[in-house]
Amino acid sequence: MSHRFLTIALLAFAVLLGGCHTAKILIPPNLRPPSENSGDNLKQAAKKLQDASPCCSSFADFSYETMLPWQPQKFVMGVGSMVANLNGAHSYFVAFRLPENAKVPYRVALKSELNGRWLHTSYLFAPTIVMLDDGFQPIHSEDVGLCEHMGWSDETTGAFGSFTVDSAKARYLLVYSSAAQQAGKTYWEQSPASVPTSTAATLQMNTAGSFSVPHGPDGSVWVGMMNKTYAKAVGSAICKKAADGNGLLNTIRTAIPIPWSSDKSKGSTPVSSTQ
């Protein structure tokens, strides 16, 4: 029996077998419904953070050897990262030295990435910043608000935020996530451009309209001096649902006066036609 004949025979047998039994359809991973539950993922991540032993509980305990990057760089916070205990809450963190030769004021960019495989089962690490002087005393602290921006690349896509270093006394920067941040949410506008295909399976996995992405205890955050790319993303990011307007036509009428829409009280000359 030749190799070719054996192959044909095996294929024929498979076809006959498929006719007797219900064949399993292999669905590509990107078309399968999401199996994870965002609530369960958050609970598990929160438990791991809570069970971790903190290394630091005061601002003087942190190591500030890392210089603040001259442009945003990615830092992954999660299992294996150091944990702080600040104000009674555990949090992953990164700490930096601020450049002494930088002219104040200057801006620092932040970006959090979605943590999860599917958009509607993801969460974000929402940053809190603390600026400190050379004696490790806090000058300013802030829960940084995040705004969503969908760009053409990974660099310009995510939840963006920023803050300004406006004190010449600022020497150190701590980035962590406060209890309030971990319990919060970020507004997210689902863009139709994010739907790769028009298949029913894919559309079911992409939440339509707008919703809020919950914050979580871990994830990836980008931190560094503001550059043009991040400044543009921060400037055009969506922070909340836009207010309902009166429509594009009414906006155009308001912006560009139209002769025939002028005040009728001034009088007008009717147009007559001769037949």
DSSP 54-81: PSBSSGGGS---SBPPSS-EEEEESTTS
Question: How far apart, in Å, are the Cα atoms of 195 and each of 186, 198, 215?
Answer: 20, 7, 23
Which pLDDT score is estimated for 101?
86
pLDDT surpasses 50 at 269 = no
Which pLDDT score is estimated for 240?
84
80-111: per-residue pLDDT in tens? 999 999 999 999 999 999 998 899 999 999 99
Which pLDDT score is estimated for 118?
81
Which pLDDT score is estimated for 274?
46
Question: What's the mean per-residue pLDDT of the chain?
Answer: 79
Is there a contact between 188 and 148 (Cβ–Cβ < 8 Å)? yes
10 Å CB burial of residue 137 (0-12, 13-18, 19+) is exposed
| Range name among 60-69, 131-140, 173-182, 252-261 with the lowest pLDDT average | 252-261
3-state secondary structure of 82: coil
pLDDT surpasses 80 at 73 = yes
Average pLDDT over every residue of 113-142: 93
- Residue 203 CA to residue 207 CA, distance in Å, equals 8
What count of other Cβ atoms lies within 10 Å of the Cβ of residue 129?
19
End-to-end CA distance of the chain: 96
Which pLDDT score is estimated for 38?
53
pLDDT surpasses 80 at 266 = no
- Residue 171 CA to residue 131 CA, distance in Å, equals 7
Average pLDDT over every residue of 50-68: 96
| Range name among 27-41, 165-179, 213-227 with the lowest pLDDT average | 27-41
201-250: per-residue pLDDT in tens? 333 344 456 689 999 999 999 999 999 999 999 999 999 876 665 555 55
Which pLDDT score is estimated for 154?
86
Buried b (16+ CB within 10 A) or exposed e, 55-83: ebeebeebebeeebbeebeebebbeeebb
Confidence of residue 195 (pLDDT cuts 50, 70, 90): very low
Average pLDDT over every residue of 170-178: 98
| Residue percentage of the chain with pLDDT more than 70 | 66
